[in-house]
Amino acid sequence: MKIKFIRSYKKLDKNGNPVTVFVYGVTGTPAQLAEYKKIQGDNYRETEEGVALHFSTRFAGNSGNLIITQSGKAVVDMSAFDQAASLASQYGGNLGQELAKAAAASLIGGPVTAPIAVTAPADLNKA
pLDDT of 127 > 70? The answer is no
The segment with the largest mean pLDDT, out of 22-31, 55-64, 115-124, is 22-31
Interval 48-68 mean pLDDT: 93
pLDDT in tens, 7-45: 999 999 999 999 999 999 999 999 999 999 999 999 999
Q: What pLDDT does residue 27 have?
A: 97
Give the model's pLDDT for residue 84: 74
| Residues 70-113: tens digit of each pLDDT | 999 999 988 777 777 777 777 777 777 777 777 777 766 655 44
In angstroms, the CA 111 to CA 106 distance is: 7
Return the pLDDT at 105: 72
